[in-house]
Amino acid sequence: MSCWQMRLLISEYFDDELSDEERQAVESHIVLCGPCYKEFVEMRALVGKLKRALAPYRFTAQDKEALLERLQGEGS
């Protein structure tokens, strides 16, 4: 798998949107590829920071749905 495909998977990796196979592909690629490993580490740090920043404002499932609806409404 090429590096640019990896970068896409890496961003989804932390959203928990990957299948086991894709996660494995990411994990085995970053062991061998310095630039992608760096990307992975930076993404992990960023996601960690975001999660800490948002932790006091945890959305309930209902809030999330309302927010999504509002966003979709603005889009059309």
Binding site for Zn ion (CB under 5 A): 3, 6, 33, 36
Q: How far apart are CB 63 and Zn ion at their closest, in Å?
A: 37
Q: How far apart are CA 66 and CA 74, in angstroms?
A: 12
The phi, psi pair for 45, rounded to 5°, reads -65, -40
Q: How far apart are CA 28 and CA 22, in angstroms?
A: 10
Q: How far apart are CB 47 and Zn ion at their closest, in Å?
A: 19
Looking at the Cβ atoms of 6 and 9, the one nearer to Zn ion is: 6
Q: How far apart are CB 20 and Zn ion at their closest, in Å?
A: 20
